[in-house]
Amino acid sequence: MRRGVLPLTLALSVVAGTALAQDDGVTVAGTGRDTLGLPIPALAPAHRDAFARGRSLFRQAWLIAPSAEQPDLDGLGPVFNRLSCLACHVKNGRGAPPDGADDVMRTTLVRLSVPGDGDGTGAAPRPHSAYGEQLNPDAIPGVPAEGKATLVWHPVTTTLDDGTVVALRTPELRFRDLAFGPLGDDVRTSVRMAPPVHGLGLLDAVPDAVILEAADPDDRDGDGVSGRPNRVPDIASGRLLIGRFGLKANQTTLRQQIAGAFLGDIGITSPLFPTENCTPAQTACAAAANGGTPELTAADLDAITLYSAALAVPARRADPAAERGEALFTAIGCAACHRPTLTTGPYPALPALENRSIHPYTDLLLHDMGPGLADGRPDFQASGSEWRTPPLWGLGLAGVAGDGAFYLHDGRARTLTEAILWHGGEGAAASGRFRALPAADRASLLAFLNTL
């Protein structure tokens, strides 16, 4: 990381309020339940029909093939997690983890792999021979579902420097009803809670050079924060490109991210992923009818990509306490990874997003977050303890729909404080400084995060 941590007093005097500028074209005011589903104000009239079509596809419960009435919307599964995008990205926001042994994952999933080479590049995860890359807990009638997964929580506590005790919880992943036998001792798992989907077009429009300018893979500046890009195959171009989407940055473009989710989560094939997700062990899955080849047309993939790209970012809300909190955010080192400002470049699919200064609070790079958050499942260049810095914009609206707010990749954190305290590895120093802050400063920092 080439921008070191500023001394606290200097930082407070220099950076307060720097990221408050809002871009009216791509942000929307308000804190309503539907705020994360609103289009950017700059959406051109020519794009409104595609946005509406994309929204319809996002909300659509996919049909079992064949459907004579709506052949353009059939092809669910044969194995799948949910029937629609909306089912996981509830109100376009983040999901929630399961709640104990009797529950199941609804807006959370489990990625699977085994050691080895997945695609001949030497870096792709190797899918599990029976269950594939992801556990699909549901299936169309006549096809066995793969099994259920849940998380059982174990309480732990941690004590801050001022003696405040914070309750945390660690997840234990459990499986049941596995249809094709045990997963095996060598299985690698990664629990992923659905992330929010706003602002993705702006991240798609960030040039590689802007991402790379913050990379410091060898930590040459010695600040303990490195940051490196994931490099993954881009299916459309056939090239190895910087990954920027997915919790481990394992997808190159928004279009590819969406197509991957359609296949992995709903079982819908697309021009980018034209093969159904049935493993050789799943004969009934392979024999089931499909909804066309592919099931999601290129035009519809374009429409839902435009919809996602055009979802606005919530505008910052005013809070007097946030000003100091914003300065602290930089001063204690959070901004080293959660970069407040990026710039966008050319974006022909939605020119309204081009050449803007945006405030996503991410560097889109991978960072080692330590053993506490490690999933032990490498994903292309990302190691088993590396995660892509998640954007923080919209953070203050997590839970606005009334279903609770959960944070981190598996939803273990129930508060922002818990989320900060889980930061290890490259985030340990910043987390440690947070622990050392007086309670009022911690509150200011949280107030700032809640204005995002």
Interface contacts to another protein, rule CB under 8 A: 30, 32-35, 52, 56, 59, 61-64, 67-70, 76, 83-84, 86-87, 90-91, 102-104, 106, 138, 140-142, 148, 401-402
Q: Which is nearer to another protein, 143 or 203 (CB)?
A: 143
Question: How far is Cα 205 from Cα 447, in angstroms, rounded to an integer?
Answer: 29
Least distance (Å) between residue 71 CB and another protein: 11
Of 137 and 227, CB closest to another protein: 137
CB burial class (10 A; 0-12, 13-18, 19+) of residue 438? Answer: exposed
CB 331 to another protein: min, Å: 35
435 bridge partner residues: none
Of 25 and 142, the one with the shorter C-beta distance to another protein is 142
Which one, of 289, 10, 348, 34, lies nearest residue 140 by Cα? 289
Q: Which is nearer to another protein, 76 or 109 (CB)?
A: 76
Q: Nearest distance from residue 86's CB to another protein, in Å?
A: 5
Complex with another protein: residue 19 or 64, whichever CB lies closer = 64
Cβ 356 to another protein shortest distance, Å = 24
Q: Residues with Cβ < 8 Å from 431, sequence gap 6 or more?
A: 420, 421, 422, 423, 424
CB contact at 8 A, 386 and 356: no
Q: Closest separation between CB of residue 138 and another protein, Å?
A: 7
Q: Is 212 exposed, middle or buried (0-12, 13-18, 19+ CB in 10 A)?
A: middle
As measured in angstroms, the least distance from the Cβ of 314 to another protein is 13
Sequence-distant (6+) residues with CB within 8 A of 230 are 242, 243, 248, 249, 250, 366, 379, 380, 381, 382, 388
**Cβ neighbours of 98 (radius 10 Å):** 25
Q: Which is nearer to another protein, 138 or 204 (CB)?
A: 138
Torsion angle of C-alpha atoms 389, 395, 401, 403, degrees rounded to 10: 60
Cβ-contact 392, 360 below 8 angstroms:
yes
CA gap 335, 341 in Å, rounded: 10
Q: Where are the beta strands (DSSP E) in 83-178?
A: 108-113, 138-139, 148-159, 165-176
Question: Measured from the CB atom, is 41 or 384 closer to another protein?
Answer: 41
Cα atoms found within 13 Å of the Cα of residue 403, Cβ hemisphere only: 14
- In the complex, the smallest distance separating the C-beta of residue 91 from another protein, rounded to whole angstroms, is 8
Give me Rg for the CA atoms of the chain: 21
CB of 388 to another protein, least distance (A): 27
Q: Closest CB to another protein among 4 and 25?
A: 25
3 or 53: CB nearest another protein: 53
Smallest distance, Å, CB 80 to another protein? Answer: 11
> Whose Cβ is closer to another protein: residue 23's or residue 99's?
99
Distance of CA 123 to the CA centre of its chain: 20
DSSP line for 302-359: HHHHHHHHTBPEEPPPP-HHHHHHHHHHHHTTGGGTS-S-EE----TT-GGGSS-EE-
Shortest distance, position 394 Cβ to another protein, whole Å:
16
